[in-house]
A and B are shown apart, each in its own frame.
Chain A
């Protein structure tokens, strides 16, 4: 069942000098219910813009984004976001940050308490409940941010390079945890990353984006059971394919020809 549909979406940003910049050009996507969907591509390819449109932070210049058939409107906890910059409230403790969304959802206090405990344990931050974000390391902050988004039990989880700033061991641990949570409490995950290995390890499908203008070039299916073995020849081959493809695009240093589609 299609849950998220992006149809003919273009987004124009204005530069400081007032020039119009095509951040996204004619993006078409379908993400299925409970699918783990990754978006990879070099920086400046519009990954984050696409995520912002899905979250409802920005409106598309052309085209439509729908969730469950309904046009995406204002942001809300149904589409919780994990930000690259954590975006924790500095004036709230770890626990208060986790409770923020639960309060807005009007969840009873006892249940809030249970959920906070559960998710704090899940991201391995027991004992840090009453610390302020400023007192935590970058990796710990990111884990709070992930716990905060998970705690509101969104139907879609939007993640913007959530593990980019974690060390490799923590990152792999968090990837496994994310998969476990996703398998236990099914939800649609749209996951932006610049790590192809990460995308292959986690995703059902991977959309590859190219820059200037930002567009989706290809959607690859990762057809393998989890947990995945990164040394599996099929995984190695898939990774090599995507990496080569991206390397070419980056080294071309020239916008690829824009393919005009019938719809536009």
Chain B
């Protein structure tokens, strides 16, 4: 035997075994977890994640302030973040901002909600029942390529200018991604899980609610998130063309007044609201599907 091997073996010989009961092991494991940093450190760490966003805003500020020396009318073409901020305060004071935000938010949520209420069951049924899919698919794929914006003239004719018309446009935009993801979710259920359900005595209805629906949930959430994103796009397009209120209306109105700070404010708010809604959706997904790996 190698001398080193012998030495190593001898060195190990004297060591006693440690830990006995599961409780003691659990205690040992807990003692190895590093202590939680204080709250202010955790908040700071969270904020630190946004360094790129902060840097972006800083560069924008510097560029539009110092750039004025070189580019004529840069203050109109690209107002700095500070100008956008004071525009926000300005509009807040006049009460227009909240009205416009709420008007847009209401339309998006109503339309995407309706698209979910109709689209999710339709998509699940299409994914689960091949014959139903065969019947519905041609119709769906015929309507789907028509851009929601192409519906605007007709929808104005039908509903006039107002909430109903814009909600209709957003609904059309959000509907298809929701249907298609729900369909994919139901269609791609692990066949072994279906068999397991059947062999444990589940009937068709039980199988749907205990296997197909939970199995399709991750896809349903993806569809809702995509639908929300596309819904925002359709909202602004719809409000740019014809609307009595909303962020799109605000942007279009500012265009005629040459107020580029208001335009930028509208853009920034749409981005921020989209980000917020997506965050809420992700949290909802985590709450509804604790078993899932997360989004």
Contact = CB atoms under 8 A, between A and B. Distances in A.
Interface of A: 55-57, 74-77, 79-81, 83, 85, 87-92, 100-101, 104-105, 132-134, 148, 152
A148 B195 contact: no
Contacts, number: 66
B273 to A, nearest CB: 31
B269 to A, nearest CB: 37
- Judged by DSSP, the binding face of B is helix
Interface of B: 190, 192-193, 195-202, 206, 210-211, 214-215, 217, 289-293
Contacts of B195: 55, 57, 75, 81, 83, 87
A125 to B, nearest CB: 14
Contact of A132 (B193, B197, B199, B291): B291
Nearest to B22: A127
A59 B215 CA distance: 26
Nearest to B211: A89
26 contacts: A55-B199, A56-B198, A57-B195, A75-B195, A76-B201, A77-B200, A79-B199, A81-B195, A83-B196, A85-B192, A87-B192, A87-B193, A89-B210, A90-B292, A91-B214, A91-B217, A91-B291, A92-B291, A100-B197, A100-B210, A101-B200, A101-B201, A104-B200, A104-B202, A133-B291, A152-B200
Nearest to A158: B199
A80 B199 contact: yes
B214 A89 contact: yes
B200 A100 contact: yes
B144 to A, nearest CB: 28
Contact of A134 (B211, B215, B291): B291
A152 B197 CA distance: 12
Contacts of A100: 197, 200, 202, 210
Contacts of B289: 91
A133 B165 CA distance: 47
Contacts of B291: 90-92, 132-134
Given A89-B211, A100-B197, A104-B200, 20 more contacts: A55-B199, A56-B198, A57-B198, A79-B199, A81-B195, A83-B196, A85-B192, A87-B190, A87-B193, A89-B193, A89-B196, A89-B197, A91-B215, A91-B289, A101-B201, A104-B206, A105-B201, A133-B291, A148-B200, A152-B200
